[in-house]
Structure formats: C-alpha cells, structure tokens
Structure 1
Amino acid sequence: MSSAQFEISEALGQLHEIANAGYALGFHIEYTTPKFVFQTYPKAWLDYYSSNGLIMNDPMVAWGFENTGNQKWSDLEDPAGVLEKATEYGMKFGVVIAVASGDSRSIGGFAHPDREFTPEEVAQIEAITTRIHENTAETARLEDETVEQLKKMSVMVTHPGS
C-alpha cells in the first residue's frame, strides 16, 4: 500500500469514528459522476436510496453543487423528505461538506445517530474531506496502482466483505 493509500485509508477511518452513523463521499465529481465514492451508511439505507432514485431529490447533493463549506442537515430544505426518511435508518443528525478547487468538486454527507455534530467535529470532518480531495485531485499524477487501490477501497468501504 502506497503512502497515499495509507493516508486516505486512515482518514476514512477517522471520518467513520466521528460520523458513527455513516457517511457518503463523492470525490472529483464530473457532471454527475464522481471519480471515487466511499460510503459507510447502513446497507439497507443505501439499497433504499438507490432503488428509489433519491439522489435526484437529495438536499445534500443540491446544496453541495451550489455551495462550498458545510451545512447542518437540519438547516437544509428537504421538500422530498429524503433526510426525514434517513432518520428511519438511524441517521438522525448530519452535516454536508462541499469542497471545490479549480473545476473539481467533492461532496460528502456525514451522519450521527443521536446528536448534532459539534463545531469542532464539523471542522475536523471538513479538514479531512479537504485533505482527501487535495490528495486525489490529480489522478493523472497518481500511480495506476494507487488509483486501482482507491477504487478497491471504495468497494470495500461501501460493501464490506466484498
């Protein structure tokens, strides 16, 4: 494992400790497709979200494409009830983080089961997300092996045991 892979793996572990109800991160989104996706939300939620096409109505996605920085889920407009439905899967509180550099954008949603994130936790999540965004920005400069390992890590994080 290269140092970039180790750094990202360690950072993802830190995010999971803070966002203990799960997270979803899309890095370097081009049009609507991210280069790397890491998800630790409950599988039942991922299945429901996917099978119901909720990405089209997800207020985190909309906010993340229009803004940078962070926003609590409770402060987002959610006319389709996506975040309300997430509470049924143990994701009652959360924050969205959006990072942009040049023409590259990364968006992440982070959940907690029983309380809002503290300002310190939000700052830490944003710093880690920014660090991963920056470390993966130039995939052309990363070794092919590193890019492949990042894709494998994405599958392992999203589908543990795969």
Structure 2
Amino acid sequence: MKFGYTILYVQDVPRTVAFYEAAFGLAPRFVHESGDFGEMETGATALAFSSLALITQLGKNPRPAVAGAPCCEIAFTTPDVAAAVERAVQAGAALVQAPEPMPWGQTVAYVNDCNGFLVELCTPMGAEHAPSCSRWPARWRAGRRPRAGARAQARASGGIRG
C-alpha cells in the first residue's frame, strides 16, 4: 500500500490553490474545470483540496473526530524557515508561532493558511538533528527519535515547547 493523498476540505478550491502557490511556492498539479478539486505538486504524496460543496454532494460529512479538536496539521520542510514564514505571511498567512529552535534540533514555525488550517514550517528532521537533550525522556536520549504522537504528547504536557 502507498500513501497517496492528503485532502483538505475548503470553501474555495481555486483561491486555496492560488494561496498555496504564492505562500509556499507549490505548483498546481491539477485543478478540475469545475473548481471543486485541485492538487498541488508536492512529490510522491499529493496535497489536494476538495470543495465542501463537492464532498457534501458525495454524501460525506467531514468533521473533526472529536468536537472542538483541530482536524489536522500539515508540514513543509525547508532549510530556511524564516524566509518561508516571511513568504507565507506576505501571501496572507497568519503567523501563529515565529521560528523557534526545538530541543530535538529542528527549527519550527507555524502559520494558519487562508482557510485557517495549521501549517508547520520546519527544517528537515534527520540524524544530524537529534542531539542529546536533558529535557527529553531517557528513552529519547538513548538515540531513538520520538514518534510524532509522542512529541505532541510531550508538548501538551509542557515537556517540550512548540
């Protein structure tokens, strides 16, 4: 099996495609003539947008798994997070968190896109970005990189900011 798409449900697909092109430098891969579906060129896995009208026509009702919970976060890696944030904000993104070095070695920033989705802009994560950190639990300091869920749990408990 291969992971093929992440689809975000939005009011206005053409506006969203134009925003992602301006804010993050992504090229449109495909936009249906109806304006109800579009994909961005992001490599092997597509970032796609579907209109809420289309998904409703198809009899689906997308909503968060838990009421009031965020529906998702997408992330783009870049060697220059500050420049990526500046470009995104100039294109209309709302700054959520300015670039900040994280204990696990990445620089991370957050913006909200034109639809309010949370977008993480961060440096790539690799072996060179995994220094020992006394704030990490012992199993993480032993050289095992934390799972994304474990990082999120640590953030929520106040163990890791970001």
- TM-score where L is the length of structure 2: 0.23
**Higher relative helix content:** 1
Higher relative contact order (CA 8 A, sep 6+): 1
Larger Rg: 2
